[in-house]
Amino acid sequence: MNKSPWIEQLHRTRPERLLEENVSTDVAIIGGGISGIMTAYFTLRYTEKRVALIEGGLVGHGATGHNAGQIVSDFERPFREMVAQFGLEATSNAVSAIEGTWETLEELMHQTNIQVPISYSTGYIGYSTVEQIKAELENMYWRKQGGLPVETLLIASESKEALQGLNPAYQTFVSYIPNKDIWSLLETDDEQYIAVHSSKRACVNSALLTESLAGYLLQTYPERFSLFEKTMVEMIDLGSRSAAISVVGGKEVKSHRVVLCTNGFEQLHIKNSGVNLDTKFHHSVTGTVGYMAGYLDPIDRPPTANTYFEHDNALKPYEPYFYLTRRPFEIESKLKHNLVCVGGPEFDLEDLSAYDRKHEIPKQTAADLDSFLKRAYAHAPKGEIEYKYQWHGLMGYTPNRLRMIGAEPCNPTLMYNLGCNGIGIMASIFGGKRIAMMLAGKKMKPLLFDPQDMRCLIA
Protein backbone atom coordinates (compact mmCIF):
# COMPACT_ATOMS: atom_id res chain seq x y z
CA MET A 1 0.00 0.00 0.00
CA ASN A 2 1.18 3.52 -0.78
CA LYS A 3 -1.71 5.65 0.42
CA SER A 4 -0.81 9.29 0.69
CA PRO A 5 -3.16 11.85 2.24
CA TRP A 6 -1.93 14.45 -0.26
CA ILE A 7 -3.03 12.46 -3.30
CA GLU A 8 -6.38 11.67 -1.67
CA GLN A 9 -7.02 15.38 -1.23
CA LEU A 10 -6.55 16.25 -4.90
CA HIS A 11 -10.11 15.63 -6.20
CA ARG A 12 -8.87 16.38 -9.63
CA THR A 13 -11.35 17.16 -12.41
CA ARG A 14 -8.94 18.38 -15.11
CA PRO A 15 -8.80 15.96 -18.08
CA GLU A 16 -5.47 14.29 -18.86
CA ARG A 17 -3.82 15.35 -22.09
CA LEU A 18 -1.26 13.01 -23.63
CA LEU A 19 1.25 13.97 -26.32
CA GLU A 20 -0.50 12.77 -29.46
CA GLU A 21 1.39 14.70 -32.12
CA ASN A 22 4.87 16.16 -32.54
CA VAL A 23 5.14 19.64 -31.10
CA SER A 24 7.72 22.40 -30.79
CA THR A 25 8.29 24.83 -27.96
CA ASP A 26 10.87 27.18 -26.49
CA VAL A 27 11.33 25.48 -23.13
CA ALA A 28 10.49 21.84 -22.45
CA ILE A 29 10.30 20.95 -18.77
CA ILE A 30 10.43 17.26 -17.94
CA GLY A 31 8.79 16.22 -14.68
CA GLY A 32 5.54 17.56 -13.22
CA GLY A 33 6.38 17.65 -9.50
CA ILE A 34 6.81 20.82 -7.51
CA SER A 35 10.11 21.63 -9.18
CA GLY A 36 8.69 21.26 -12.71
CA ILE A 37 5.59 23.32 -11.98
CA MET A 38 7.58 26.05 -10.22
CA THR A 39 10.02 26.20 -13.12
CA ALA A 40 7.06 26.52 -15.50
CA TYR A 41 5.38 29.18 -13.37
CA PHE A 42 8.41 31.45 -13.10
CA THR A 43 9.42 30.95 -16.74
CA LEU A 44 5.97 31.94 -17.94
CA ARG A 45 5.91 34.86 -15.55
CA TYR A 46 9.35 36.29 -16.23
CA THR A 47 9.85 35.49 -19.93
CA GLU A 48 7.80 35.51 -23.12
CA LYS A 49 8.75 31.93 -23.90
CA ARG A 50 6.44 29.05 -24.71
CA VAL A 51 6.65 26.25 -22.17
CA ALA A 52 5.71 22.57 -22.50
CA LEU A 53 5.64 20.51 -19.31
CA ILE A 54 5.97 16.79 -19.89
CA GLU A 55 5.09 14.38 -17.06
CA GLY A 56 5.43 10.59 -17.24
CA GLY A 57 2.54 10.00 -14.84
CA LEU A 58 0.26 12.61 -13.32
CA VAL A 59 1.20 16.03 -12.00
CA GLY A 60 2.18 15.99 -8.31
CA HIS A 61 2.18 12.19 -7.96
CA GLY A 62 5.95 11.68 -7.46
CA ALA A 63 7.85 12.69 -4.30
CA THR A 64 5.73 15.84 -4.29
CA GLY A 65 2.66 13.73 -3.48
CA HIS A 66 4.46 11.45 -1.01
CA ASN A 67 6.35 13.68 1.37
CA ALA A 68 5.80 15.24 4.80
CA GLY A 69 4.81 18.57 3.30
CA GLN A 70 6.83 20.65 5.73
CA ILE A 71 8.02 23.93 4.31
CA VAL A 72 11.40 24.57 5.87
CA SER A 73 14.45 26.41 4.69
CA ASP A 74 16.85 23.88 6.25
CA PHE A 75 19.52 21.92 4.44
CA GLU A 76 20.18 18.27 5.06
CA ARG A 77 23.82 18.94 5.61
CA PRO A 78 24.98 20.60 8.81
CA PHE A 79 26.09 24.20 8.28
CA ARG A 80 29.49 23.55 9.87
CA GLU A 81 30.13 20.67 7.49
CA MET A 82 29.22 22.75 4.44
CA VAL A 83 31.54 25.51 5.65
CA ALA A 84 34.36 22.97 5.96
CA GLN A 85 33.77 21.77 2.40
CA PHE A 86 32.75 24.91 0.52
CA GLY A 87 33.90 27.82 2.70
CA LEU A 88 31.90 30.28 4.78
CA GLU A 89 30.92 32.75 2.08
CA ALA A 90 29.65 30.19 -0.42
CA THR A 91 27.73 28.32 2.30
CA SER A 92 26.18 31.49 3.73
CA ASN A 93 25.13 32.68 0.26
CA ALA A 94 23.45 29.35 -0.53
CA VAL A 95 21.66 29.18 2.82
CA SER A 96 20.60 32.81 2.62
CA ALA A 97 19.19 32.23 -0.89
CA ILE A 98 16.96 29.38 0.33
CA GLU A 99 15.92 31.26 3.48
CA GLY A 100 14.90 34.21 1.27
CA THR A 101 12.50 31.93 -0.59
CA TRP A 102 9.82 32.34 2.11
CA GLU A 103 9.10 35.72 0.53
CA THR A 104 9.00 34.23 -2.97
CA LEU A 105 6.39 31.70 -1.82
CA GLU A 106 4.26 34.35 -0.14
CA GLU A 107 4.43 36.49 -3.26
CA LEU A 108 3.47 33.53 -5.46
CA MET A 109 0.42 32.73 -3.32
CA HIS A 110 -0.64 36.36 -3.43
CA GLN A 111 -0.03 36.78 -7.17
CA THR A 112 -1.85 33.60 -8.27
CA ASN A 113 -4.54 33.69 -5.58
CA ILE A 114 -4.67 29.88 -5.63
CA GLN A 115 -6.56 28.54 -2.63
CA VAL A 116 -4.18 26.05 -1.07
CA PRO A 117 -4.03 26.02 2.73
CA ILE A 118 -0.62 26.70 4.25
CA SER A 119 -0.40 26.26 8.04
CA TYR A 120 2.40 28.37 9.47
CA SER A 121 3.92 27.41 12.83
CA THR A 122 7.08 27.52 14.88
CA GLY A 123 8.89 24.23 14.48
CA TYR A 124 10.81 22.75 17.39
CA ILE A 125 13.87 20.56 17.04
CA GLY A 126 14.64 18.43 20.08
CA TYR A 127 18.12 17.21 21.06
CA SER A 128 18.85 14.45 23.53
CA THR A 129 22.65 14.36 23.93
CA VAL A 130 25.43 16.78 24.81
CA GLU A 131 27.20 15.88 21.53
CA GLN A 132 24.14 16.91 19.55
CA ILE A 133 23.96 20.20 21.43
CA LYS A 134 27.64 20.94 20.82
CA ALA A 135 27.29 20.17 17.13
CA GLU A 136 24.28 22.47 16.86
CA LEU A 137 26.13 25.25 18.68
CA GLU A 138 28.94 24.94 16.19
CA ASN A 139 26.42 25.35 13.38
CA MET A 140 25.07 28.45 15.11
CA TYR A 141 28.55 29.87 15.58
CA TRP A 142 29.29 29.56 11.87
CA ARG A 143 25.89 30.98 10.90
CA LYS A 144 26.67 34.03 13.01
CA GLN A 145 30.09 34.36 11.36
CA GLY A 146 28.34 34.19 7.99
CA GLY A 147 26.00 37.04 8.94
CA LEU A 148 22.88 34.85 9.18
CA PRO A 149 20.27 35.16 11.93
CA VAL A 150 20.65 32.79 14.90
CA GLU A 151 17.85 31.63 17.23
CA THR A 152 18.73 31.01 20.87
CA LEU A 153 19.17 27.35 21.78
CA LEU A 154 17.14 26.49 24.89
CA ILE A 155 18.93 24.01 27.13
CA ALA A 156 17.63 22.29 30.26
CA SER A 157 18.99 23.95 33.42
CA GLU A 158 19.36 20.41 34.75
CA SER A 159 22.00 19.75 32.04
CA LYS A 160 24.08 22.86 32.74
CA GLU A 161 26.68 20.88 34.60
CA ALA A 162 27.14 18.40 31.78
CA LEU A 163 27.88 21.36 29.49
CA GLN A 164 30.59 22.86 31.63
CA GLY A 165 33.65 23.78 29.64
CA LEU A 166 31.54 24.81 26.70
CA ASN A 167 33.42 27.03 24.24
CA PRO A 168 32.83 30.58 25.62
CA ALA A 169 32.02 31.77 22.08
CA TYR A 170 28.91 29.58 22.23
CA GLN A 171 27.55 30.91 25.55
CA THR A 172 25.79 33.84 23.86
CA PHE A 173 23.64 31.45 21.83
CA VAL A 174 22.30 29.63 24.87
CA SER A 175 19.51 30.15 27.37
CA TYR A 176 18.69 27.75 30.20
CA ILE A 177 15.12 26.82 31.07
CA PRO A 178 13.58 24.03 33.17
CA ASN A 179 13.61 20.64 31.47
CA LYS A 180 9.83 20.35 31.73
CA ASP A 181 9.47 23.47 29.53
CA ILE A 182 11.57 21.79 26.87
CA TRP A 183 9.30 18.75 26.93
CA SER A 184 6.29 21.02 26.77
CA LEU A 185 7.57 22.81 23.62
CA LEU A 186 8.27 19.44 22.01
CA GLU A 187 4.87 18.12 23.17
CA THR A 188 6.57 15.08 24.62
CA ASP A 189 6.67 13.08 27.86
CA ASP A 190 9.94 11.56 26.75
CA GLU A 191 12.54 12.71 29.23
CA GLN A 192 15.51 12.08 26.94
CA TYR A 193 15.22 15.58 25.38
CA ILE A 194 17.46 18.17 27.02
CA ALA A 195 17.50 21.00 24.48
CA VAL A 196 15.25 22.59 21.90
CA HIS A 197 15.77 24.92 19.00
CA SER A 198 13.05 26.70 17.04
CA SER A 199 12.67 27.73 13.42
CA LYS A 200 9.99 29.05 11.07
CA ARG A 201 7.98 26.26 9.45
CA ALA A 202 4.78 25.69 7.57
CA CYS A 203 2.82 22.70 6.32
CA VAL A 204 1.32 22.36 2.86
CA ASN A 205 -0.04 19.66 0.60
CA SER A 206 2.62 20.16 -2.07
CA ALA A 207 0.74 17.92 -4.52
CA LEU A 208 -2.30 20.18 -4.20
CA LEU A 209 -0.10 23.23 -4.61
CA THR A 210 1.40 21.70 -7.76
CA GLU A 211 -1.97 20.63 -9.19
CA SER A 212 -3.56 24.01 -8.43
CA LEU A 213 -0.67 25.84 -10.05
CA ALA A 214 -0.99 23.60 -13.14
CA GLY A 215 -4.65 24.62 -13.42
CA TYR A 216 -3.73 28.27 -12.94
CA LEU A 217 -1.04 28.15 -15.66
CA LEU A 218 -3.34 26.43 -18.16
CA GLN A 219 -5.94 29.10 -17.60
CA THR A 220 -3.59 32.09 -17.47
CA TYR A 221 -1.28 31.22 -20.36
CA PRO A 222 -3.42 29.21 -22.85
CA GLU A 223 -1.24 30.36 -25.77
CA ARG A 224 2.13 29.70 -24.20
CA PHE A 225 1.69 26.78 -21.81
CA SER A 226 0.95 23.16 -22.63
CA LEU A 227 0.93 20.23 -20.25
CA PHE A 228 1.28 16.62 -21.32
CA GLU A 229 0.72 13.87 -18.76
CA LYS A 230 1.17 10.11 -18.98
CA THR A 231 3.91 11.00 -21.44
CA MET A 232 7.17 9.32 -20.44
CA VAL A 233 10.32 10.77 -21.96
CA GLU A 234 12.74 8.11 -23.18
CA MET A 235 15.48 10.10 -24.81
CA ILE A 236 16.78 13.63 -25.09
CA ASP A 237 19.10 14.34 -28.01
CA LEU A 238 20.85 17.64 -27.45
CA GLY A 239 22.08 19.80 -30.28
CA SER A 240 23.93 23.08 -29.91
CA ARG A 241 20.79 25.23 -29.83
CA SER A 242 17.92 22.78 -29.64
CA ALA A 243 16.91 19.37 -28.40
CA ALA A 244 14.76 16.54 -29.69
CA ILE A 245 12.81 14.84 -26.92
CA SER A 246 11.40 11.40 -27.74
CA VAL A 247 8.60 9.98 -25.66
CA VAL A 248 7.25 6.46 -25.26
CA GLY A 249 4.85 5.91 -28.16
CA GLY A 250 7.13 7.56 -30.72
CA LYS A 251 6.11 11.23 -30.67
CA GLU A 252 8.65 14.01 -30.31
CA VAL A 253 8.97 17.47 -28.76
CA LYS A 254 11.45 19.89 -30.29
CA SER A 255 12.60 22.67 -28.02
CA HIS A 256 15.32 25.29 -27.62
CA ARG A 257 16.00 24.44 -23.99
CA VAL A 258 15.18 21.42 -21.82
CA VAL A 259 14.90 21.59 -18.04
CA LEU A 260 15.11 18.29 -16.19
CA CYS A 261 12.90 18.33 -13.10
CA THR A 262 12.76 14.58 -12.73
CA ASN A 263 13.99 14.25 -9.13
CA GLY A 264 16.70 11.93 -10.45
CA PHE A 265 17.39 10.64 -13.93
CA GLU A 266 14.91 7.81 -13.98
CA GLN A 267 14.30 5.98 -17.25
CA LEU A 268 15.91 8.65 -19.34
CA HIS A 269 18.78 8.60 -21.84
CA ILE A 270 20.59 11.76 -22.77
CA LYS A 271 22.69 12.21 -25.90
CA ASN A 272 24.87 15.14 -26.76
CA SER A 273 24.97 15.54 -30.56
CA GLY A 274 24.27 11.87 -30.92
CA VAL A 275 26.82 10.74 -28.30
CA ASN A 276 25.72 9.47 -24.88
CA LEU A 277 26.48 11.90 -22.08
CA ASP A 278 28.60 10.29 -19.42
CA THR A 279 26.22 7.86 -17.81
CA LYS A 280 28.45 7.47 -14.78
CA PHE A 281 27.54 10.99 -13.75
CA HIS A 282 23.87 10.53 -14.41
CA HIS A 283 23.86 7.40 -12.32
CA SER A 284 25.47 9.34 -9.51
CA VAL A 285 22.07 10.73 -8.52
CA THR A 286 21.16 8.06 -6.01
CA GLY A 287 17.83 7.22 -4.46
CA THR A 288 16.58 7.10 -0.90
CA VAL A 289 13.10 5.92 0.00
CA GLY A 290 11.39 7.69 2.90
CA TYR A 291 8.43 6.18 4.80
CA MET A 292 5.59 7.91 6.62
CA ALA A 293 2.34 7.21 8.50
CA GLY A 294 -0.56 9.45 9.48
CA TYR A 295 -3.82 9.34 11.45
CA LEU A 296 -6.78 11.65 11.97
CA ASP A 297 -7.41 13.36 15.29
CA PRO A 298 -9.98 15.89 16.49
CA ILE A 299 -9.06 19.41 15.49
CA ASP A 300 -8.29 20.67 18.99
CA ARG A 301 -4.64 21.68 18.75
CA PRO A 302 -2.77 24.21 16.56
CA PRO A 303 -0.49 23.19 13.67
CA THR A 304 3.01 22.05 14.53
CA ALA A 305 6.10 20.65 12.81
CA ASN A 306 8.74 19.15 15.10
CA THR A 307 11.92 17.15 14.65
CA TYR A 308 13.38 14.73 17.21
CA PHE A 309 17.00 13.66 17.45
CA GLU A 310 16.98 10.68 19.76
CA HIS A 311 19.75 9.23 21.90
CA ASP A 312 20.67 6.59 19.40
CA ASN A 313 20.98 9.08 16.57
CA ALA A 314 24.06 11.13 17.40
CA LEU A 315 23.93 14.15 15.10
CA LYS A 316 26.03 12.63 12.39
CA PRO A 317 25.52 13.66 8.80
CA TYR A 318 22.63 11.90 7.04
CA GLU A 319 21.60 9.87 10.06
CA PRO A 320 17.87 9.49 10.26
CA TYR A 321 15.78 11.39 12.74
CA PHE A 322 12.04 11.41 13.34
CA TYR A 323 9.68 14.24 12.47
CA LEU A 324 6.09 14.91 13.39
CA THR A 325 3.59 17.32 11.86
CA ARG A 326 0.02 18.19 12.84
CA ARG A 327 -2.21 20.29 10.64
CA PRO A 328 -5.88 20.82 9.77
CA PHE A 329 -6.96 18.34 7.12
CA GLU A 330 -10.18 18.26 5.14
CA ILE A 331 -11.55 14.99 3.84
CA GLU A 332 -14.40 14.21 1.42
CA SER A 333 -17.22 15.17 3.74
CA LYS A 334 -15.61 18.57 4.25
CA LEU A 335 -15.20 17.54 7.88
CA LYS A 336 -12.01 19.03 9.21
CA HIS A 337 -9.67 16.98 11.34
CA ASN A 338 -6.14 17.32 12.45
CA LEU A 339 -3.85 15.06 10.48
CA VAL A 340 -0.89 13.86 12.53
CA CYS A 341 2.01 12.52 10.43
CA VAL A 342 5.25 10.86 11.44
CA GLY A 343 8.26 10.07 9.33
CA GLY A 344 11.94 9.40 9.57
CA PRO A 345 13.00 5.94 8.40
CA GLU A 346 14.93 6.12 5.13
CA PHE A 347 16.57 3.44 3.03
CA ASP A 348 19.10 3.89 0.25
CA LEU A 349 18.55 2.35 -3.16
CA GLU A 350 21.41 1.27 -5.38
CA ASP A 351 19.47 2.21 -8.47
CA LEU A 352 16.67 4.77 -8.74
CA SER A 353 14.81 2.72 -11.32
CA ALA A 354 14.53 -0.09 -8.75
CA TYR A 355 11.95 1.94 -6.81
CA ASP A 356 8.45 0.51 -7.03
CA ARG A 357 5.92 3.28 -6.31
CA LYS A 358 3.34 0.72 -5.18
CA HIS A 359 5.34 -1.45 -2.77
CA GLU A 360 4.05 -2.10 0.76
CA ILE A 361 5.60 -0.22 3.65
CA PRO A 362 7.80 -2.82 5.41
CA LYS A 363 6.21 -4.13 8.63
CA GLN A 364 9.24 -3.28 10.74
CA THR A 365 9.29 0.29 9.40
CA ALA A 366 5.60 0.74 10.21
CA ALA A 367 6.30 -0.61 13.71
CA ASP A 368 9.26 1.79 14.16
CA LEU A 369 7.09 4.77 13.22
CA ASP A 370 4.35 3.64 15.61
CA SER A 371 6.78 3.09 18.44
CA PHE A 372 8.39 6.51 17.91
CA LEU A 373 4.98 8.19 17.98
CA LYS A 374 3.99 6.45 21.20
CA ARG A 375 7.22 7.25 22.99
CA ALA A 376 7.65 10.83 21.76
CA TYR A 377 4.24 12.40 21.23
CA ALA A 378 2.45 13.25 24.47
CA HIS A 379 -0.93 13.44 22.70
CA ALA A 380 -0.69 10.10 20.88
CA PRO A 381 -3.90 8.05 21.23
CA LYS A 382 -3.74 5.33 23.87
CA GLY A 383 -3.85 1.76 22.58
CA GLU A 384 -3.73 0.76 18.94
CA ILE A 385 -3.55 3.65 16.47
CA GLU A 386 -5.52 3.38 13.27
CA TYR A 387 -3.28 4.79 10.55
CA LYS A 388 -5.52 5.97 7.74
CA TYR A 389 -2.46 6.66 5.63
CA GLN A 390 0.88 4.95 5.15
CA TRP A 391 3.05 6.07 2.29
CA HIS A 392 6.52 6.38 0.84
CA GLY A 393 8.36 8.40 -1.75
CA LEU A 394 11.66 8.62 -3.55
CA MET A 395 14.27 11.27 -2.93
CA GLY A 396 17.06 11.78 -5.47
CA TYR A 397 20.42 12.76 -4.01
CA THR A 398 23.24 14.39 -5.91
CA PRO A 399 26.74 13.40 -4.74
CA ASN A 400 27.19 16.61 -2.72
CA ARG A 401 23.64 16.36 -1.38
CA LEU A 402 22.68 19.79 -2.65
CA ARG A 403 20.06 20.49 -5.25
CA MET A 404 21.47 20.99 -8.74
CA ILE A 405 20.11 24.11 -10.43
CA GLY A 406 21.37 25.55 -13.70
CA ALA A 407 22.77 24.75 -17.12
CA GLU A 408 24.66 21.58 -17.99
CA PRO A 409 28.28 22.68 -18.47
CA CYS A 410 28.80 20.33 -21.45
CA ASN A 411 25.79 21.72 -23.26
CA PRO A 412 23.65 24.53 -21.82
CA THR A 413 20.69 23.49 -23.95
CA LEU A 414 20.07 21.14 -21.01
CA MET A 415 19.28 22.56 -17.59
CA TYR A 416 18.58 20.97 -14.21
CA ASN A 417 16.37 21.67 -11.22
CA LEU A 418 16.68 18.33 -9.47
CA GLY A 419 18.36 16.13 -6.89
CA CYS A 420 15.61 16.99 -4.47
CA ASN A 421 17.07 15.76 -1.20
CA GLY A 422 14.63 15.04 1.61
CA ILE A 423 14.06 18.75 2.12
CA GLY A 424 13.21 19.93 -1.33
CA ILE A 425 10.07 22.07 -1.40
CA MET A 426 11.79 25.41 -0.79
CA ALA A 427 14.77 24.46 -2.92
CA SER A 428 12.43 23.51 -5.81
CA ILE A 429 10.74 26.91 -5.63
CA PHE A 430 14.08 28.68 -5.44
CA GLY A 431 15.39 26.57 -8.32
CA GLY A 432 12.35 27.31 -10.49
CA LYS A 433 12.86 31.03 -10.12
CA ARG A 434 16.61 30.84 -10.68
CA ILE A 435 16.13 28.84 -13.90
CA ALA A 436 13.55 31.37 -15.12
CA MET A 437 15.96 34.23 -14.46
CA MET A 438 18.66 32.41 -16.44
CA LEU A 439 16.23 31.84 -19.29
CA ALA A 440 15.36 35.54 -19.17
CA GLY A 441 19.03 36.22 -19.86
CA LYS A 442 19.95 37.52 -16.41
CA LYS A 443 23.50 36.99 -15.30
CA MET A 444 23.36 35.12 -12.01
CA LYS A 445 25.94 35.12 -9.25
CA PRO A 446 27.51 31.67 -8.84
CA LEU A 447 25.97 29.52 -6.10
CA LEU A 448 26.68 26.09 -4.63
CA PHE A 449 23.71 24.73 -6.60
CA ASP A 450 25.41 25.35 -9.96
CA PRO A 451 26.04 22.10 -11.83
CA GLN A 452 29.70 21.13 -11.70
CA ASP A 453 31.45 20.09 -14.84
CA MET A 454 32.79 16.58 -14.55
CA ARG A 455 31.52 14.87 -17.63
CA CYS A 456 33.22 16.87 -20.37
CA LEU A 457 36.50 15.97 -18.75
CA ILE A 458 35.62 12.30 -18.52
CA ALA A 459 34.11 11.99 -22.01
Residues that bind ligand FAD (CB under 6 A): 30-36, 54-57, 61-64, 66-70, 206, 232-233, 261-263, 266-268, 290, 292, 343, 393-395, 418, 420, 422-426, 428
**Nearest to ligand FAD of 425, 439 (CB atom):** 425
CB of 386 to ligand FAD, least distance (A): 21
**Nearest to ligand FAD of 61, 326 (CB atom):** 61
CB of 325 to ligand FAD, least distance (A): 8
**Nearest to ligand FAD of 32, 320 (CB atom):** 32
CB of 207 to ligand FAD, least distance (A): 8
CB of 373 to ligand FAD, least distance (A): 16
**Nearest to ligand FAD of 166, 349 (CB atom):** 349
CB of 415 to ligand FAD, least distance (A): 13
3-state secondary structure string across the chain: CCECHHHHCCCCCCCCCCCCCCEEEEEEEECCCHHHHHHHHHHHHHCCCCEEEECCCCCCCCHHHCCCCEECCCCCCCHHHHHHHHCHHHHHHHHHHHHCHHHHHHHHHHHHCCCCCEEEEEEEEEECCHHHHHHHHHHHHHHHHCCCCCCCEEEEHHHCHHHCCCCHHHHHHEEEECHHHHHHHHCCCCCCCCEEEEEEEEEECHHHHHHHHHHHHHHHCCCCEEEECCCCEEEEEECCCCEEEEECCCCEEEEEEEEECCCCCCCCEEEECCEECCHHHHCCCEEEEEEEEEEEECCCCCCEEEEECCCCCCCCCCCCCEEEEEEEEECCCCCEEEEEEEEEEEEEECCHHHCCCCCCCCHHHHHHHHHHHHHHCCCCCCCCCCCCEEEEEEEEECCCCCCEEEECCCCCCEEEEECCCCCCHHHHHHHHHHHHHHHCCCCCCCCCCCCCCCHHHHC
CB of 311 to ligand FAD, least distance (A): 23
**Nearest to ligand FAD of 133, 361 (CB atom):** 361
**Nearest to ligand FAD of 59, 439 (CB atom):** 59
**Nearest to ligand FAD of 175, 267 (CB atom):** 267
**Nearest to ligand FAD of 83, 418 (CB atom):** 418
CB of 323 to ligand FAD, least distance (A): 7
CB of 180 to ligand FAD, least distance (A): 28
- CB closest to ligand FAD, residue no: 424
